[in-house]
Structure formats: structure tokens, C-alpha cells
Amino acid sequence: MPTIIRDLPETSSYWAAIWTLCPLPDVHVLCDAPIGCFNLVATAVPDYTDAIPHIANVTPSVITEKEVGGSGTGAAVKRTWENLREAGLLAGKRLIVVSTAESEMIGSDLSDLVTQLEPGTTFFHSESLSHDEWLGRDRVLQWAWEQYGAAGAADLAAEPGLVNIIGPTYGCFNSTADLHELKRLIEGAGGRLNQVFPFESTLAQMPHLARAAVNVVMYKEFGHTLAETLGRPWLHAPIGIRGTIDFVRRLGQLLGTSAQAEAFIRREKQTTLQAVWDLWKGPQSDWFHTTSIGIVATGTYVDGLITYLGEELGMNIAFAVRRPRRPDDLDTETLRDLLHSRPPSFVFGSINEKIYLSEGGKKQTTFLPAAFPGPVVRRSMGTPFMGFHGTVYLVQEIVNQLYETLYNFLPLDSAYARAAAPAAGGPPPATVAVAAPGNLPWAEEARAVLDAALEKLPFLARISASRELQMQVEAEARARGIAEITRQLAAEVLNTHRK
């Protein structure tokens, strides 16, 4: 049975190669690509994932019918290289030629051709027809080390106290804030930053990765192969209170700065983390026990959110799906059905999950962006999921959205809706619930329909919603001159207005 993809959540290793190599300012990538593969990777998508106007140091060979029809891409790549050189775009740059799905499809292997281009030009076969973006990033980091790092690193010794961060690249959700927090944690634990790679680094500096005593790999999805190759102790970046304490403590031990690390933890407890303690002592945390959470994100975020929101704060994790998907994770069809029928109070996810909530008309579920794909600006340093600041940011977001849910269910005088409706010129409004004197009698089966409808709503909203839904059904009954609410009427109104 062929595999069907619904709303693909992760891209290919060609994208990974561009998004990993192009943050290095001394690299120019020549992608062996048709115009579309160039535009999507270099402009149309990073405009909205990384909030950059475009990636300037990538140029396509522009595969056309001619190349596909038999001539191959060699001549086009060579011509592009000549133009790049003539335009002065290669001054001070390393040229890397990268294959795409289409160039692989027509069997274009340029490993020989690159030896005829700029001296030192290399060819990265991205394996784009079979590898996903996570494997792609991991592989290209390792490949870059072998090509540009290892030789120069041979006689570099590790310096005590120096720490590298491996990751992020373009297309890593929320990386600005997470990276900022991670640097703060490393310095707090007594470490000194050596390199952040590839962001904030150059290809020429790559050998200097060998100088760090410890490596921190930001994501579980990629970078571990390079960290293993570097041969120093390495840690993953943390999410949650306990995870972050463990991280700072472990880093302190590895660097021999345990006293500093412990002092940092104490200080954070008295400052940054006080917000979590106050919210815990206040009325806010009482809601956590009835707050349900669904998560669709990278394994890094999924594991962190399960630990922090679920185990530490006591929220109910309704489901969690990792990217890349593990065999025991929900498949997309099942996930979509779940979001259509019985979504949790919060969904952390990508635009795919947001669309499924829209399809199901699930207005009571709050969507919080936590993964790509989807257009979202995440360039502020103040929105981390990772580290101590992350624990505060996450709980603050959730509580504010709970307030929002509550607000949306508070009664609003119906006269305004009735007055606004004709002026707007839009479609006729759904029955406006009008508070009428007294209640209409409800048949027992009708009451059961109402209860079922309420069951589907997030807990916090139910008190206000129960009155709201009751009023809607009764308003419809009064409009039709029905004296008692029947099961049919309740089902009709509640299924139309709130699936």
C-alpha cells in the first residue's frame, strides 16, 4: 500500500543543506535547482519562518527543459559559476554546490565537475529524494566538519571552560529566544562561549569547534553526529525547571565550575523562577489540573513540554506527536480526526494542526505555535521554551490564554450583536442568544445533548458556556414557538453552532 502524505510537516535534506550552510557568511551555495526550489527555500518560506527578506548567498543553476531533456546540469552549473565569479559574488567565499530532488532525479552527479570550478569548490549530494530535513542537517554538519573543519583542528587542544552550541540553522522554530536563553545558562553555569555553529559562525572558523571542552547540542533532531565526532562531552539543551537545573549542574560538573553553577541556580530561583512560584501559589495553578494539552512539534519540544507542563505543573497531556514522527506516534489522519472531534484546551503545533481545528470549527481550543510549518515571527529574545526563562514564558502564555477563554464566555448584552449585524452587510448571524425571562422546560434527552456538547469544551469555559448554549437553544425554541426543548431541537442547534 503506497504511503499517503497529508500536510507534510517536515522538508527535505536539500532544504536542510541550504538552511544549514547559508547562515555561514563565507559560504556561497550554488543549488542545482529549477527556479521553484530556489525561490521557496531562499525567499518564499524563510520570509515567514525566519523573518528575513531573503537568503542572499544562494544562487540556482535554473534547471529547464533542456537540462531535464538530456543535456544534464553540468553546463548550467558551470555557467552560473562563471557569472557568480564575474559578478564578484565569490570573493572571500567558499563555493559549495548542492544537489536537489530534481537534479538527483536526472542523475546529475557533479562531484567531478566541481573540480573544474573555483579551487576548493565542493559538492554536497543532499540525498533529497530520501532524507528529511533533520537527517539532512545532521549529515551536512558532519560533512562540513570533514571538508572544512577536521584538518585544521588536528593540533587544536580543548581549553577548559569553553563551550560550543551546535545549532540552530534557518527553519528552527523559536531559535532566537532559545539560543539567547541557552547562552545565559551556559554563562551562568560558569562556561565561556566558544562558538555557536552555524549561526554566528563562519566556515573558516569551523576548526575552532575543537577548542571547546563541552558541546551543547540544541536539538535532539540533529547535531549529535558532529558532537560525537568532536569527541568532547556533550549535552542537549533543556526545557522545564528540573531539566534546566540538571543541565546547569551537569555543565558545571563537566567544566569544573560546580560552585558557580549552584550559585546560578540559587539566584535564578530567587529571581526568574519566582514568577512560576507565585503563579503556583496563586489561583492560576488550580486550573492546570483540568487543562488539557496536545503537542505536535519536534521531539525536543515534545519531550520538554511533556516534562514541564505535564509532570512538573500537572496539566493533562492529551496527545503528543513528534517530528520526525516515531512509529508509535499518532498518524496525521488520526490526529486530524481527534482535532475535529475532541480537541484539548490547548494545541501546541504547526499551521497544519491550526487548519484541522479550523476545519472542525473548534473555537474553544487555543492554538499556540510551537513548530514549523507556518508563518510566525519568532525573533524576540523574550519567548523561549528552553531554560528557566522558558518555564516562565510558557506558563505565562497558557494562563493568559485561559483568561482569554474566560473572557470570551462572559455574557455580552445581546443587543449589540443584533444592532451590529445588519450594518456589517455580512452573512446573517447565527441565532443571537437573548436572555428571556424564565427557563423553558427541557426534555431529559435534550439535557443529555447539552451535556454532551459541554463535555467537548475545555473545562474552564464550561460554566459560562453552559448558560450560553442553553440560551441559544431556548432562543431558537422561542423563535419557532416551541414550548419544550426536545432532543431534536437541541441537537439541531448545538450541532450547527458548536460542532
Partner 1 sequence: MSDVIPLHASPGSQKPCQLHPQSMCPAFGSLRILTRIEGSHPVMATDTGCLYGLTFVTHFYGARKSILAAHLGTSELMSGEVVESTRAAIEVAAREPGCRLIPVVSLCVAETAGLPEEMLPRQVGEAEVVLVRVPAYAIHSHPEAKDVAMAALLRRLGTRDGAREEKTLVVLGEVFPADPLVIDGLLRKMGGAGTISLPGRSIDDLRRAARAGALAPLHPFYKDTMSVFRGWDLPIVGGAPVGASGSYAWLKAVGTLLNLDPALVNQVAEAERDKAQALLNAQPLSGRILVTGYEGTELAYARLLVEAGAEVPYVSTSIGADPLVLPDELWLRSRGTKEIVYRKTLEDDVAALDTYKPDLVLGTTPFCSIAKERGIPALYFTNQLASRPFFLSSGLAATIGFMQQMLTRRAQYEWMQTFFEDDGQEAAHAHHHS
- Chain positions 95 to 114 lying near partner 1, rule: CB under 8 A, are 100-102, 105-106
Stretch that binds partner 1, among 283-291, 351-359, 382-390, 471-479 (CB under 8 A): 351-359
Could you tell me which of 180, 218, 134 has the C-alpha nearest to residue 379?
180
Among the residue ranges 7-15, 138-146, 360-368, 401-409, the one whose residues contact partner 1 (CB under 8 A):
7-15
Q: Does 235 bind partner 1 (CB under 8 A)?
A: no
CB of 153 to partner 1, least distance (A): 22
Instruction: Figure out which of the listed residues 140, 226, 351, 469 binds partner 1, where binding follows CB under 8 A.
Output: 351
Q: Restricting to residues 395-454, which ones interact with partner 1 according to CB under 8 A?
A: none
Identity of the residue, 66 or 266, whose beta carbon is nearer to partner 1 in the bound complex: 66
Q: Kindly identify the residues of this chain, within the stretch 300-339, that bind partner 1 according to CB under 8 A.
A: 336
Nearer to partner 1 among residue 202 and residue 396 (C-beta): 202
| CA dihedral of residues 373, 375, 377, 383 (deg, nearest 10) | -40
HSE of 440, CA atoms in CB hemisphere, 13 A: 25
Say whether residue 44 binds partner 1 (CB under 8 A). yes
CB-CB contact of 303 with 240 (8 Å): no
Compute the distance between CA of residue 266 and CA of residue 288 in angstroms, rounded to an integer.
Answer: 26
Contact string (CB under 8 A) for partner 1, positions 151-190, x = contact: -------------------------x--------------
Least distance in angstroms from the C-beta of 222 to partner 1: 16
Which of 19, 20, 60, 178 is in the footprint of partner 1 by CB under 8 A? 60
Q: Which long-range contacts (CB under 8 A, 24 or more apart) does 279-288 make?
A: 279/395, 279/396, 279/399, 280/313, 284/395, 284/399, 284/402, 285/313, 285/314, 287/399, 287/402, 287/459, 287/460, 288/313, 288/314, 288/315
In order, the DSSP letters of 321-359 are EEESPPTTSPPHHHHHHHHHH---SEEEE-HHHHHHHHH
Q: Smallest distance from the beta carbon of 111 to partner 1, in angstroms?
A: 18
Q: Does 118 bind partner 1 (CB under 8 A)?
A: no
- 132 near partner 1 (CB under 8 A): yes
Give the Cα separation of 296 and 329 in Å (integer): 10
Q: How far is the CB of 332 from partner 1 (least distance, A)?
A: 9
The span from the CA of 319 to the CA of 197, in Å, is 33
Beta bridge partners of 9: none
**How far does Cα 18 stand from its chain's mean position?**
19
CB atoms within 10 A of CB 290: 14
The reply on whether position 83 binds partner 1 by CB under 8 A is yes
Number of residues that bind partner 1 (CB under 8 A): 76
Q: How far is the CB of 55 from partner 1 (least distance, A)?
A: 7
Question: 235 - beta bridge partners?
Answer: 216
| 2 contributes a contact to partner 1 by CB under 8 A | yes
CB 207 within 8 A of CB 266: no
**Which residue of 29, 62, 315, 490 would you call a contact of partner 1, by CB under 8 A?**
62
Least distance to partner 1, CB of residue 158, Å: 27
Rounded-to-integer distance, Cα 195 and Cα 230, Å: 13
- Nearest approach, Cβ of 108 to partner 1 (angstroms)? 11
CA 181 – CA 194 distance, rounded (Å): 16
Q: Is 32 in the site for partner 1 (CB under 8 A)?
A: no
| 11 lines the binding site for partner 1 (CB under 8 A) | yes
